[in-house]
Structure 1
Amino acid sequence: MSEDGSPTLLRRQLGRFLRERREASGLTIALAAQEVQLSPAALQRLETGRPQKLRKQDVRALCELYEVDPDELEKAVDLAVQAARNPEVTALGGLFSNAFNMYVGMEQSARTLVTYQEQIPGLLQTADYAKATFRAFPGYNSSDDIERRVAVRLRRQAMVTRKSNPLAVEVLLHQSALHRVMGGPRVMSPQLMHLAEVGKLPNVTLRVHPYSAGMTWGFLHGPFVILDFGSDRKGKQVEPPVVYVEGRVSSDLYVEKPDEVQRYHELADAIRVDALDETRTRDLLRQAAREYERER
């Protein structure tokens, strides 16, 4: 349990999974709670990751009620054990299957996303660019596996382009991303043109952070994502904001402490000061795309 009584990462992930499975089963909180002999308040606390005694048998009973796949059921129980044993965990490897992918789960629940990146972010990648990135990773050797991963990445992009309540995205993209070639000029040219177009969406802000800006705060801080989950009708946070730092070759890092999250907001503010405006960004993207087009 966190010192301030806030839900912790593992509890939040487990709660999100159980809520999604309950809703997919068409059950209300009251009906589901009655079936497994929990109070509605207890089940609601479980689904929101709020502090309470976390019992494996409750998680198992809920998964059985929702007819969860046996493999995912065991993983849910394992997650409950981890959450009870080590609630303050902030560094995680890939959590189980896609159903328990920590970052994807949070991304789907977020209202706004602010990110600084040094490569094209997954939410804005073309299929060919995504395929080239997966092919470059030594762990992905199967064509079928690569195609599956590309399909999952493209499906995630629907939260940006959907008409109803799209995710608000601000991308601060380092200029180096325009010159790190993935898949050759035939991939890079359409990718950069796609960025120029998607940046016109009302819920997307895309600005390039140029080489001329040097190093913000005097060091290479690397990519990060700030996820905010909005507030309810009473103005209370739905979930506390989180900063995600991808581990790449090691464990991912999740930052929850308010003062540390605030530092990342301040870092994003500092990057914005030197970033190109949206019009100059689109001009630069189109210019780079034309240069790649001439190389094809």
Structure 2
Amino acid sequence: MTKDDQPGSTLPRRQLGRALRDAREGAGFTLERSAQLMEMGKTSLGRIEKGQNDKVRLRDIETLGELYGLAAERVEELKALAQQMATKSWWQASRHLLFPGYNTYLGLEAGASRLSFYQPLLVPGLVQTLSYAKSIERNYLPNETPDDIQRRVDLRIRRAAILTRHRSPVTAEFIIHESVFHTVVGSPAVMAAQARHVADMGTRPNVSVRILSLSASLPPEGVGVPPYIMLDFPADSRGFTAEPPIVYTEGAIGTMFFEESDDVKRYREIHEAIKSAALEEKPSRDLLRQVARRHEQ
């Protein structure tokens, strides 16, 4: 488990760091010995292996590759990853608007192949309507300028493109508590449109929406569980192994990433238990449309 506010821990950085660590261990070097031979601090090399550096010098990759006996082709692949790190993501211009740790999450979300959400409090950002998102931002950040609120909303809405893009849309599963749609955000009209939008998104082949109804008996595994997102990653097209899955959670005082395999396994068990108590997909859509009609009345 790591508390992470490192802006560099996006997918290419993590892949590069993991590949260098695996190469070091495969060559039989300790972190201390490698750092000594590289004439750099142990902490500096450790940050590279953890994907926490904004930049990694290409000559350092070449030297590490020579030290670990990597083939020239593999070194070039690692250098290509380092060059990806220098490319600014589309949300970087709005980094000052992001909560601590969220920049890291966006970098991981952009590279994920599957997202699994549990949300008992709010409509998840990826399926929020424009009006709902604006109402949320105004309620939570009343001192923000209208321009900053609009930028936050634009950022949130733009993220949703990963679900609707034509090429390789992300597979996403949403388990949302019914109470989320009874809690009025903005106005009943906003909530009606929001409920219908989530129902419509659930008809997409890559999106699953399951509602945990008010009458559901929550399994013991789901008691006291905060909102979370599980992220699964694909293998790289150049042969890098898939990044291990991660669980991202948000709390009142910060964000947390769970990366240890036992922690992720436990969250998967919790997710399956909550899902077993939720409605199937079509009944979930039917319920959302019923809630929308009630708001419209």
Give the alignment of 1:94-173 within 5 angstroms. Answer: 94-95=100-101, 101-118=103-120, 119-138=122-141, 140-173=143-176
Match of residue 250 from structure 2 = 246
Deviations 1:202-259 (A, max 9, x none): 0000010112223331622121110001234698642111000012x21101000001
Give the alignment of 1:164-183 within 5 angstroms. Answer: 164-183=167-186
Structure 1: how far apart are the matches of 2:260 and 2:243? 13
Q: CA distance change for structure 1 residues 123 and 158 in 2, over 3 Å: closer, same or farther?
A: same
Structure 2: how far apart are the matches of 1:17 and 1:204? 28
Structure 2: how far apart are the matches of 1:102 and 1:46? 22
Structure 2: how far apart are the matches of 1:11 and 1:150? 21
Give the alignment of 1:1-296 within 5 angstroms. Answer: 10=6, 13=9, 16=12, 37-40=59-62, 41=65, 94-95=100-101, 101-118=103-120, 119-138=122-141, 140-217=143-220, 219-232=223-236, 237-247=241-251, 249-294=252-297
Q: CA distance change for structure 1 residues 111 and 243 in 2, over 3 Å: closer, same or farther?
A: same
121-130 or 238-247, which deviates more: 238-247
| TM-score after normalising by structure 2 | 0.69
| Structure 1 position 47, deviation (Å) | 7.8
Deviations 1:58-112 (A, max 9, x none): xxxx96xx7x8xxx8xx9xxxxxxxxxxxxxxxxx714xxxx8011111101000
Partner SS, residue 246 of structure 1 = strand
Q: Residues 7 and 103 of structure 2 are in contact (CA less than 8 Å); yes or no, is this contact kept in structure 1? A: no
Higher relative contact order (CA 8 A, sep 6+): 2
Q: Residues 110 and 227 of structure 1 are in contact (CA less than 8 Å); yes or no, is this contact kept in structure 2? A: yes
Partner SS, residue 115 of structure 1 = strand
Structure 1: how far apart are the matches of 2:187 and 2:275? 30
Structure 2: how far apart are the matches of 1:18 and 1:171? 26
Q: CA distance change for structure 1 residues 102 and 284 in 2, over 3 Å: closer, same or farther?
A: same
| TM-score after normalising by structure 1 | 0.69
| Structure 1 position 48, deviation (Å) | 6.3
Q: For structure 1, list consecutive stretches of 5 or more residues without a partner in the other structure.
A: 3-7, 20-32, 50-61, 76-92
Aligned positions, number: 233
Q: CA distance change for structure 1 residues 148 and 9 in 2, over 3 Å: closer, same or farther?
A: closer
Aligned-pair identity in percent equals: 35
Q: CA distance change for structure 1 residues 182 and 277 in 2, over 3 Å: closer, same or farther?
A: same
Q: Residues 8 and 104 of structure 2 are in contact (CA less than 8 Å); yes or no, is this contact kept in structure 1? A: no
Partner SS, residue 268 of structure 2 = helix
| Amino acid across the alignment from 1:106 | L
| Structure 1 position 196, deviation (Å) | 1.0
Q: CA distance change for structure 1 residues 142 and 9 in 2, over 3 Å: closer, same or farther?
A: closer
Q: Residues 5 and 100 of structure 2 are in contact (CA less than 8 Å); yes or no, is this contact kept in structure 1? A: no
Q: For structure 2, list consecutive stretches of 5 or more residues without a partner in the other structure.
A: 16-54, 66-74
